Structure formats: C-alpha cells, structure tokens
Structure 1
C-alpha cells in the first residue's frame, strides 16, 4: 500500500524565479510573448500570401515560425502565472504534456535546421539541379517526416519519464517541466532514462549537426571558388540568416543539455533556458525579416496594398 502511494506524484510545484525582480521579468516576458506571436504570424502570413516567397526556403521558414509559436505558447503563459504567484502547482498530466510539447518542438527545430542547411547547400552548390531536387512534394515530405520523428521520439521519452517514481517533495526548481529537473527529483533508478536520452540524441541532435556542418563546409568552399565578389556576397547572404539562427539555437542547447556544468547555479540554468524558449522564437522572425530582401519587399507591398484600401 505504501509503495502504491509513492508511485505517481499527483502534482508538481514549479518554483520559477524567486528574486525581487519578478514583476520586471513578468512584463519583459509578456512583451516578448506578444512580440513573438505577432512576428511569427507576420512571417507565416507573408509566406502564404506573397508569390515571391513561394520557394522551399521560405516554406521551411514558415514552419520554423509555427514551431516558435508552439514553443513559446507552451512555456510562457504558465511561467507568467508562476511569476505572479511566486511559484505554481502543475498536475502530473499537465507537467508531462508540457514536457512532451516542448520536446516535440525542440526536436523538430533540430531536424528542420538540418533540412534548411541542406536546402541552402543544394541552392548554392548545385543551382542548376535545385528546382528538380527541392520540389514542392519533396519539401512537404521533409517537413512531415520531421514532425513525425519529433512526435514519436519525444513520446518515447515522455512515457519513460512519466512511469518513474516521484516520492516527494515534488518541487521543481525550474521555470517549466524539463528533462533534467524531472530526473533530479525522481527517487527511482534513472539510468535507463539517461541511456535512452543518450541513444535518441544521436538521430535528433548529432546527425542534424553533422548534416549542417558538412553542408556549410561545402557551401563555404563553393563561395570561395566564385570569381565575382558580388556573387560571393549574394551567395553568403542567402544563408547568413540561417547560420545565425543555428548558432544561437545550438549554443544554448549544448550549454544546458550536452555540457552542463556540475554545481551550475540554478538561476544560470533558468536564464539559459529562457534563451532557447523565449529569446530564440522572438529573434528568429527579426533575423529573417531584417536580413532578408524578399521578406522586406513583400511586407512593403502588403503595407502599400492596405494603405490604398
């Protein structure tokens, strides 16, 4: 009977940030949330309505915007509640649902960034074959496959973690239900979970990184072989935004999950988590809009159209 009482924790308690600057952080996150939603919805709208943006690259960017909206919506609304309440309870099902959606979106973004790097590789290194390789059907298949792999692999992790024993106190000193904080409060053997995470990290993390590195090695080599300086600048500009997003995304992911520092300050972990759950979705549309001539042109056309109505 005692064993049954500790099998499943009915609720968890997320501490969030306990500093005196909670209200400032609340306002900052609220602005970031609405800014992210508006910015990414703008990208999705422009890509779906503008003919000049009906290309594989912008098709992938629009799905990146969808994933950014899902990610920040999964994390920030509950975090805002936690900040106002100096912590907040979350049900067992709610906690693992949040973890699952978070894992799905992060895994999808890893795979999508690899797909986008391959797209840039084909466009720059094999421009004549680009229309026949990156067809509309092929792009749809790549995106659907990325979503299906993300749903499946993350479901395996979520189910494994959900059956672990949580004896209490069920306090998670973090801003959301994440993998490492959940493992830390479990009182059952977590070696199987850790092994499973390491095994699944190869197809969803290290293989995409390998694809990105190989793609950009070939892209850089091709750019340096171009004779014209203008051609080199134009070729590099088509992938500089993607490279910036990749750098920010993987820097924070590796800082939190791959190379975590022993005894790392808890607030530092929380701040790093904010970088890839809040900052990255916020700056992605900014990077792609400010550094992209086609998107700026499309936006100007839409503004002129509505001004003449």
Structure 2
C-alpha cells in the first residue's frame, strides 16, 4: 500500500485536475451559449437557402440551368467535407464523427477525397488511411461567413473542374446540450427525394410552383446564388459543429469534475485508513517501550 505522503500528493493532484476541469466546464458553458445563439440566428436563413436550392434542383431541365445541378453520368471520384474540432477534451465528439464517416465511406464504391475542418478530424482520418487533400484549422472562436466561405468555394471549384463528381458534407448537428447527432448531406449535385415537391409554410404543407421565373436572367442569378448558398451550407454546418463541440466539452468536463470528486473521496478514505494504521502502530510502539522500561526497572 502507498505511504501516507504519496497518498496526500495523489489527493492534491486529483484536486488540481478537478479545478482545471471545472474551469474548462465554465469556459465551455460560456462559449456554448454564444455558439447556440449564433446557430439559431443563422439557421432559418440557411434552411430557407437549402430549400431554395432543392427547389431549383427540381426545376424542369435542371441539367441546363447550372453546372452545379448537373448529375454526372458516371461517378468516378467523391469529395467529403468533414468538420471536426481543433482541440480535444470534448468526450467522444471527434471519435463519433470519424466513426460515422468511416461507416459511410470506408467501403464506398468510388475513390474518396477529404477536405477536413479541424485538426482532430484530420489526424484521426489520416491514421485510418483517409486521403486528405486539404485541411482548414484555427478558425476564429465565432467564425463569420467570410472565414468559412473559402471551404465551400474550394468544393465548388473541384466539382466544376471535374476533379470530383459528387460532394458530401459530414458534420455534427446541434440538437440540445445533451444530444448532438452526426449528419451527412449531399451538397453537389443536389438530389431530390419524395418530399421535395412540398414546402412548409405557416405550419402547413403546400405544393410549390412548377417553375421559377427569373429576372433579369436565369444564368446570372443562378451563377450568383447557387455557389453562395452552397457555401452557406458549409458555414451553417461549421456553426452547428462548433456548438456541438462546446456542448460535448462542457458535459465531458462536468463528468470529469464529478469523477475527480468521487476519486478524492475514495483516496481520502484510504489515506485515513493508512494514517490510522500508522498512528496505531506508533501507539503500540510507545506502549511496548514503556512496558519494557517498567520491567527493566524492576
């Protein structure tokens, strides 16, 4: 069993760790409030922009409206935008998004390239043999659209050049403080599902118009809004991931603090036992010495 001095040092060490984790929890709690506020402020616009993109993709003759809407006859290469964090101590946040990505793309039917946002995702992905062609890290604590737009523009350029035939976005969607869900979204080209002919308006589902009328010119308008709205989806995904990261870190640090307090209690109990044994031994030694001295005086 460890000595009383060693146990005191260990107890102090655990207490110091608890102070650090408590401070990290407080910092994450402050950051997550700001991140969630930013997400909620931009989410309605991003959702409406995504709805417009899906609507445009369903227009008659979509393949002639814009190159970003054109389905490739043969998919030879796939690009994935993977969003993670730059720092750890966020529980299973980074591990979950990498595991989710590998489940979808590890045995994908075409060669897959990655553009990563965040060092942790990049490192974990490279350890698993992922082909990382570009990476972005050290984004501001509260990134603006201009900070992130270059990521979306890079994906658009790769698609327009023909280097890739489809682009997916993999990120963590913020649901609540206790729940963050990995999400995969196909960015380019846009694909339709059975619900694409319906939109939500004032809480009711209504049929959309058959086609948009563009003023002044369809080509000019689509050249402007489609790349911009595509970059906006990357920006919104980054904000969602940032809020998820702070929420996951806050919960992880709270659990770490609670575990540290429990460990200190257990160590304190063991320390008291060791100290009591030491005191009992000292008392026995004193009593034995006194008894021996009394016998010698007789």
Shared fold (TM-score greater than 0.5)? no
Determine which structure has the larger helix proportion and give its number.
1
Which has the higher Rg, Structure 1 or Structure 2?
2
TM-score (norm 1): 0.23
Per the normalisation by structure 2, the TM-score is: 0.24
More strand by share: 2
